[in-house]
Structure 1
Amino acid sequence: MTSTSPDVPVRRTPAELADRLIDIKRIYHEPDIERFPRARDVMDRFPEAERVQILSHQAIPGLYGNEGSAADWVRNKREVLVLGEKKSLAARRNERSSDWIAPSTANGCAMACSYCYVPRRKGYANPITVFANIEKITGYLERHAKRQGPKLVPNQCDPVDWIYDIGENSDCSADAMVSDNVRDLVGLFARIPNAKASFATKLVNRDLLDYDPRGGTRVRFSLMPEQTSRLVDVRTSKVADRIAAIDDFVAAGYEVHLNFSPVIVHENWLADWAELLEQVADGTNDRTKAQLAAEIIFLTHNEGLHDVNMLWHPRGEDLLWRPDLQQAKRSQNGQWNVRYKSPWKGRWVQQLTDLIDEKLPTCRVRYAF
C-alpha cells in the first residue's frame, strides 16, 4: 500500500493530469458484459456515466467510422469508454520490440498523439476499450509462456526472457487509470519464470510504482525532443516528467528502456536530439544507466491520417507531412505509407546512433529503422 507517513511522499499520478485525461460520461458496453467482474469494477469507478448497450465493441453506432466526429477528437478521448470481450486470443510473433505481441487487454488511448497509426474506428479518436475477460487473457498468456520453455538463444529482444508486448494497441499507463487489467498483467509476469511483459508509454502514471513487478515488466518510456513533443504528443506527460520518472520506476522493480519514437526530421532535429540525450544522461543515476537500452523508430505517416489530422490538429502536420523529405512505400500489411527518403534515412539513422554513443554511451540500441 502507498505510505501515508509524513516522511514518505505519496506517489500518485497528479490529480490534474488524471482529470485532464479522463472524465468518463458515457460507457458503451456489449450485452451481458456485467457477467465479468472486471466490467462491474470499471462501471463502479464511473457510477455517473451513461451506459449504452451495443452489439459489438468494434461497431458503435454514431462513432464507428464516423469521420465527421474528428472535430470531437479530444472530447471523445476524455469522455467515452468502451467495455467489451476479447474473443480471439493469439500471441503473434514480432521480433522487434518483443518476441510476441500479447492478446490485447485494451485498445485505444486517452492520449492523442497526432502521428498515431492505431485504427480510428471509434469516432476517429479511438478512445479506450477495456476487455473485461481478463482472467481468460492472463490464463492464455501463462499457458503460452509455459509452452515456450526456456529461451535458449539470446536475441535483441532479451538475452534471457521471452518478451511479450502487452500494449501494442494502447498505452498501459493510461489503461491503468480505468481498470486493474495492467495491475493483473504486471502481477502475472512477476511470477512467470521465463517471460517478461513490455509496453511503451508517454504517460507518467506513478500509481504503477505501487505494483510489485519483481523485474517481470519492462517499461519503455517514449521520448522525443521537448519542442517537437509539445506539438505532436497531445495530452501526454511532459518529456521532462518522463525522464524524471525513470529512476523511480527502476527502483520500484521495473526494467526501464527508452523508446526513441517517432524520430521526426526537421531542419534542427539533430541538435534537439543532442539536448534530449544530455537531459537523459543528467537525469538518471548509474543503476538506471547500467540497464538502459533503446529502440529507434523514424516516423511513418500516411495520407489518410494526414487528411484526418487536418480536421482537428493541423499545426502538427507542419512537422509530420513533409513531401520534400518523404517517399511513398508499401508497408507489410499492404497499405501505402510515407517514410523518409532513401538514402537520406539511412544516413540519419547512423547520425542518431552515433549521437547516442557519444551522449549516452551505456545505452545500447536494440534496433533502429
Structure 2
Amino acid sequence: MTNLDLFPPEPPPATGPLEHLLKVSRIYLEPDIERFTRGRDILARFPGAERVPVRSHWNIPGLFGNEGNAEAWNRIKGSTLVLGVKKSMGFEANGRSADFLPPSTANGCVMSCAYCYVPRHKGYANPVTVFVNIEQVLAAIRRHAGRLGPKTEPNTVDPRYWVYDIGCNSDCSADAALSDNVKDLVRLFTVLPNAMGSFATKLVNRELLSYAPRGKTRIRFSLMPPAKAKLLDVRTSPISERIAAIDDFVAAGYEVHLNFSPVVITEGWQAEYDALFQQLDDTMGDRAKEQLAAEIIFLTHNERLHEVNLRWHPKAEELLWRPELQETKVSQGGGVNVRYRTGYKGRLVEEFQELLARRMPYCRVRYAF
C-alpha cells in the first residue's frame, strides 16, 4: 500500500458532535467484526464508507508506525476508523487519575493534541480504533471489582470507590459519538456498589448528559490557557466551551474534576493561568465548586514525537521542546522523554499550586507532578 492509498475517498456529510472532526469514508476492520452486535451497529452508522479488511488493528500496512504520514496526520484522523477486537483483559494499577486502568474500549483519537503520547505506541497517523467486544470488557470489570470488595482505606484517587480510568487511550466524549461503548460503561458503574469510572476529555459532547451516571462517573475536563490551547489542543473544543459545560455535567449527575494538563512553561505563564482560574471561578456555580478537585500535570514530551511534530506542526514545538529548561528521562519502554529539570520543576509545581489556591481555594488538588 502506498501513501496515496492511505487517502480515503471523499467523505459524506456528517452530523453530531464530531461533525467537524470525523467524516468516516474508510473503515479498516479485523476479521469477524460483524459477528459482534457492536460491530454491526457501527458499520450501519457509516453505510457508505469503504471497508478494508485487515488482519490486526495494530498492524495495518502503510498506516501503523508510518511516520511518513505526518504530513497527512489530520486528513487520516478525520476520515478513517478502525474496528477491532480487544484481546487482553488485563488491569493495570495506577494510583494517580484512577486506581486501575481497565481493558480499553477504544484507542486513538479524532483530535490531534501536539503533545499526545498515544501516537508513539500506535502508528503516527493514529486514527480511532473502536473495540467491538464490549460485553467482554464489561464482564471483566464486573469480575475485577467483585474481587476487590469495598474500598476500606481512602486514598487520593477517591475516598469511597475504586476508580477505573475508562479513557486512558482515547477521549470518551469522542468515542461516545461513534458507538454506545461509553454509555454501556457509564451504566455499568451505576450498578457496581464499590466502583466508579473516570475519564479526561477535551471535547464537549452533550449527548453524555442523557446517560444518567448517578454520581458514579467522574469527568475530568482538561484545561490550559486559551491561547496555548489554540496552538496545542488541535481539533478540540474551545476552552470556554469546556468551562461552560461544567455546571451542566454536574447537574446531569457526573462528578466533574479539572485536569490542568499539560502545564507548558512559557514567559508569562503565571498571568495566563491566573486569568484561567478567574474565568473558572466566575463561570462555575456553587454546586460545581463544592465537589471540585483537580490534577496538575506538567509537560512530558518525547524525542521521536518532537521530530514528527516538526513536519506537521512546528510552531507547537517552539513551546513544547525547550532543551534549556528540560532534561531527558528514559522511560520503562526505552523511549527518550523530556521533562522540566529536577529542582526547577519542583519550584514550578509549588508556584502553580499557590496560584490556584489564591484564586480557587475551594479546589482540592488530588495530585501534582
TM (norm. structure 1) is: 0.95
Matches within 5 A, 1:226-237: 226-237=226-237
What residue is the counterpart of 1:311 in the other structure? 311
Q: Tell me the number of residue pairs that the alignment of Structure 1 and Structure 2 aligns.
A: 356
1:61-72 pair list within 5 angstroms: 61-72=61-72
CA distance in 2, matches of 1:70, 1:283: 38
1:69, distance to aligned residue in structure 2 (A): 1.1
Match of 2:221, SS state, is: strand
Gaps of 5+ in 2: 1-13
Report sequence identity in percent: 61
Matches of 2:166 and 2:315, distance apart in 1: 31
Native 8 Å contact 1:64 1:121 kept in 2: no
Q: Which residue of 2 aligns with 1:10?
A: none
Matched with 2:39 is 39
> Post-superposition shift, 1:124?
1.3
Cα shift at 1:102: 1.0
Counterpart of 1:30 in structure 2 is 30
Distance in 2 (CA, whole Å) between partners of 1:211 and 1:278 is: 30
1:343-362 correspondence to structure 2 within 5 Å: 343-362=343-362
Query: Could you say which residue in structure 1 is the equivalent of 2:105?
Result: 105
- In the alignment, the residues of structure 1 paired with residue 109 and residue 279 of structure 2 have an alpha-carbon distance, to the nearest angstrom, of 27
Q: 1:130 — aligned with what?
A: 130
Distance across 1 between alignment mates of 2:72 and 2:234? 14
Question: What does residue 77 of structure 1 align with?
Answer: 77
Inter-partner Cα distance in structure 1 for 2:286 and 2:260: 20
User: Do 2:42 and 2:178's aligned partners in 1 also have CA atoms closer than 8 Å?
Assistant: yes
- In structure 1, how many angstroms separate the alpha carbons of the residues matched to 2:257 and 2:340? 25
Residue 118 of structure 2 aligns to a residue whose secondary structure is coil
Q: How many angstroms does 1:19 deviate by?
A: 1.4
Q: 1:120 to 1:45 in 2, by over 3 A?
A: farther
User: Equivalent residue for 1:282?
Assistant: 282
Within a 5 Å distance, the mapping from 1:169-184 to structure 2 comes to 169-184=169-184
Task: Identify the residue that residue 225 of structure 1 maps to in structure 2.
Answer: 225
* Alpha-carbon separation, structure 2, partners of 1:67 and 1:330: 21
3-state SS of the aligned residue for 1:119? helix
SS in 1 for 2:276: helix
Instruction: Write the deviation string for residues 86-125 of structure 1: whole angstroms up to 9, x where unpaired.
Output: 0110111000110000110000000000000113466512
Task: Tell me the secondary structure at the aligned position of residue 323 of structure 2.
Answer: coil
- Give the secondary-structure state (helix, strand or coil) at the position aligned to 1:306: helix
Q: How much does 1:17 deviate?
A: 5.2
> Aligned partners of 1:212 and 1:148: how far apart in 2?
25
* Aligned residue in 2 for 1:216: 216
Runs of 4+ in 1 over 3 A off after TM superposition: 14-17, 119-123
After TM superposition, the structure 1 = structure 2 runs for residues 255-294 of structure 1, keeping only pairs within 5 Å, are 255-294=255-294
3-state secondary structure, aligned to 2:358: helix
CA distance in 2, matches of 1:21, 1:170: 15
Q: Does 1:240 align with 2:240?
A: yes
Contact 2:90 2:103 in 1 (8 A): yes
1:113 partner SS: coil
Alpha-carbon distance in 2 for matches of 1:304, 1:155: 35
Q: Give the equivalent residue in structure 2 for 1:11.
A: none
SS of equivalent to 2:318: helix
> Is the 8 Å Cα contact of residues 63 and 121 (structure 1) preserved in structure 2?
no
- Corresponding residue for residue 4 of structure 2: none
SS of equivalent residue, structure 1 residue 197: strand
Cα distance in 1 between the residues matched to 2:132 and 2:306: 33
Task: For residues 169-216 of structure 1, give each alpha carbon's deviation from its aligned partner in whole angstroms, at most 9, with x where no partner exists.
Answer: 000001011111000000001111100000000000001001110111
Contact 2:17 2:177 in 1 (8 A): no
Q: Measure how far apart 1:246 and its partner are.
A: 0.3
- Secondary structure, aligned partner of 1:19: coil
For residues 334 and 101 of structure 2, the distance between their equivalents in structure 1, rounded to whole angstroms, comes to: 20
Question: Aligned letter for 2:210?
Answer: D
1:4-29 superposed Cα distances (whole Å, 9 cap, x missing partner): xxxxxxxxxx9585211110000000
